Amino acid sequence: MRQGKSKIRGEVQGTFLKGCVYVEEKFYLILAKNSAQMLLINKLLRENGIETDLVPSPPESGTVCAIAIKIQGVNLEKAKNILFENQIEVRGIYEDKKMKLQGLIDKKLGASVSKEFLDILKKIEDGDELLEKEIVYLLSTKDIKEIESIYAAADRIKRETVGNVLEIRGAIEFSNYCCKKCKYCGINSQNKIERYRMNEEEIMEVVGYLNKIGLRTVILQSGEDPHWGTERLIQLIKRIKIETGMRITLSVGEKSFEEYESLKLAGADNYLLKIETTNRKLFKTIHPDGDFDSRLKCSRWLKELGYINGSGNIIGIPGQTIEDIARDILYFKEMGINMIGIGPFIPAKGTVFENMPPGDIDLTIRTMAVTRIVCKKVYIPSTTALASLSKDAQIRALKAGANTIMLINTPAKYRTNYMIYNDKNMVDIDSAIYAAKKAGLELPKYLKL
Ligand code: 5AD
């Protein structure tokens, strides 16, 4: 479902012709009280023939990045009746308004940048969706003034959607065993590295520390390790919930619908599963034992199950074009992705890409900024991969649309073996606080230091 003018009856869809005046179609967002209710409503509406889309909820709804159900204005009354008949009381129903941003263009700027750029900026001001070729323009312009205004627009959209506060999450890379053959990744099954697997007690010790310093979310990441299967994960999730009440983000790869469902029921809140690239051919090249459609299906399941859904891509992976990156950004938008991890490619020792050049830092930061402009209210981490290439780049990203930092809390004795790429940097709480200060971001109120 696309906002604004799209096609109906082969002509202009989403627009009503009144005399000769085009009127934009309205969309509404239904905000449920919790994710179980959201899933129920989504199911009921779809069963009754109402087309729905799950999207990040708007800023005024309070919770950052919870999921809202988007419906077309023509279906509003029918949807309300369905809610009434099923005695469902929701948190609210809002019109899905475009985000207008007055003042991006001033006279001085108008005289110094291209007409094409001004037209794109005007669309951003009006809250209109950008086309692929416009995104390509933003990603590739070399004009300093234009680049500065892209970063300024991204920073403003960040402040107006998720605020000027740094989100801090703690990651535990609990196993580097992996059965996959991803060509770029240093822990792929064929790479000869020392393998480790943390046990539940070791993980809980780190979780206890993260809880003590006040963090709200723990990220559990690993290779696709069958010895840390779904049953064992469920036990761990339940224990974390009981002992700390923290939110849990899983990043443990592709699984079946039933597995994702039982992990969600056990208490997992968020899931990171990056698409890496939306170019199918490139996806196959870099994932010789992977399948683009399966990855896509997993991401859809995660969304349908009510996870806060994380995706992302790698910038500068050998064979990638700017058009590919533009399409990745449009994919994040269309899929209603809530967390978007954008990192530069970094060659990993022992892999077939070992001697390839790393991804471009500026292009990575630019992609983050354009993603903020296009996707608006989402979490964008200033990634560990970016910090690994340059600490300064991590700070620059926080000034250009990124709003999250993921700490690496894997115990020191294991950390050096979680080398998904070379010279992976250590991001700890002190460096996160330093980066926030340098980037002019507030620290979250939940930190207890
Ligand atoms: N360079 C950059 N990012 C990488 N990842 C894995 N290997 C590399 C690499 N060599 C990223 C992938 C994965 C995440 C956990 O790490 O995007 O989803």
> Is the C-beta atom of 386 inside 6 A of ligand 1?
no
Residue 391 vs residues 91, 169, 239, 295, 406: alpha-carbon distances, Å: 41, 18, 35, 31, 14
Q: Which of 172, 420, 422 is the pocket-test mutation for ligand 1 (most atoms within 8 Å of CB)?
A: 420
272 CA to middle of ligand 1, Å?
12
**Which ligand 1 atom lies nearest to the CA of residue 420?**
7
Specify the pTM: 0.92
Residue 31's φ and ψ, nearest 5 degrees, are: -105, 120
* Dist. CA 418–CA 177, nearest whole Å: 9
Please tell me what DSSP assigns to residue 314.
E
Comparing C-alpha atoms, which of 4, 30, 38 is closest to residue 309?
A: 38
Q: Which of 184, 187, 355 is the pocket-test mutation for ligand 1 (most atoms within 8 Å of CB)?
A: 184
**Residue 240 in contact with residue 248, Cβ under 8 Å?**
yes
**For the chain, first and last CA: distance in Å?**
45
For residue 7, the model assigns a pLDDT of 37
> Is the C-beta atom of 337 inside 6 A of ligand 1?
no
For residue 62, the model assigns a pLDDT of 55
> Is the C-beta atom of 345 inside 6 A of ligand 1?
yes
* Dist. CA 95–CA 417, nearest whole Å: 49
424 CA to middle of ligand 1, Å?
10
For residue 111, the model assigns a pLDDT of 81
345 CA to middle of ligand 1, Å?
7
* Dist. CA 271–CA 95, nearest whole Å: 28
38 CA to middle of ligand 1, Å?
32
Q: Which of 250, 314, 342, 367 is the pocket-test mutation for ligand 1 (most atoms within 8 Å of CB)?
A: 314
Residue 169's φ and ψ, nearest 5 degrees, are: -125, 155
> Is the C-beta atom of 274 inside 6 A of ligand 1?
yes
**Residue 14 in contact with residue 8, Cβ under 8 Å?**
yes
* Dist. CA 265–CA 354, nearest whole Å: 40
Residue 44's φ and ψ, nearest 5 degrees, are: -60, -45
- Output Rg (C-alpha) for the chain, integer angstroms: 22
Q: pLDDT (tens digit, 0 to 9) for every residue of the chain, 449 residues total?
A: 655 544 333 333 344 444 545 556 899 999 998 878 998 999 999 999 999 988 877 666 655 456 889 999 999 999 999 999 999 999 999 999 889 998 888 878 878 899 999 999 999 999 999 999 999 999 999 999 999 999 999 999 999 999 999 999 999 999 999 999 999 999 999 999 999 999 999 999 999 999 999 999 999 999 999 999 999 999 999 999 999 999 999 999 999 999 999 999 999 999 999 999 999 999 999 999 999 999 999 999 999 898 999 999 999 999 999 999 999 999 999 999 999 999 999 999 999 999 999 999 999 999 999 999 999 999 999 999 999 999 899 999 999 999 999 999 999 999 999 999 988 888 999 999 999 999 999 999 999 98
- Joined together, the tokens standing for residue 184 give 């770029």
Helices 115-126 and 132-140: crossing angle in degrees, nearest 10, is 120
> Is the C-beta atom of 295 inside 6 A of ligand 1?
no
Q: Which of 309, 421, 424 is the pocket-test mutation for ligand 1 (most atoms within 8 Å of CB)?
A: 421
11 CA to middle of ligand 1, Å?
42
> Is the C-beta atom of 171 inside 6 A of ligand 1?
no
* Dist. CA 404–CA 420, nearest whole Å: 20
For residue 23, the model assigns a pLDDT of 58
330 CA to middle of ligand 1, Å?
21
Residue at token pair 């592709």: 254
26 torsion bin: left (phi>0), alpha (psi -120 to 50), beta (else): beta
Q: b/e per residue, 40-65, with b = 16+ CB within 10 A?
A: ebbebbeeeebebbbbbbbbebeebb
What are the residues whose beta carbons fall under 8 Å from the beta carbon of 141, sequence distance 6 or more? 117, 147, 150
What are the residues whose beta carbons fall under 8 Å from the beta carbon of 417, sequence distance 6 or more? 176, 193, 194, 195, 196
At 212, is the secondary structure helix, strand, or coil?
A: helix
Residue 390 vs residues 165, 409, 425: alpha-carbon distances, Å: 22, 20, 9
Long-range contact pairs involving 43-47 (C-beta distance under 8 Å, separation at least 24): 44/82, 44/86, 44/88, 45/69, 45/71, 45/75, 45/79, 45/82
Comparing C-alpha atoms, which of 343, 360, 356, 303 is closest to residue 139?
A: 360
Partners of 440 in the β-ladder: none
**Which ligand 1 atom lies nearest to the CA of residue 272?**
18
For residue 1, the model assigns a pLDDT of 63
Would you tell me how many other CB atoms lie within 10 Å of the CB of residue 7? 11
* Dist. CA 424–CA 344, nearest whole Å: 12
* Dist. CA 166–CA 405, nearest whole Å: 7
**Residue 305 in contact with residue 264, Cβ under 8 Å?**
yes
The residue nearest atom 7 of ligand 1, judged by CA position, is 185
**Which ligand 1 atom lies nearest to the CA of residue 221?**
15
> Is the C-beta atom of 343 inside 6 A of ligand 1?
yes
- Joined together, the tokens standing for residue 417 give 């073996």
For residue 60, the model assigns a pLDDT of 60
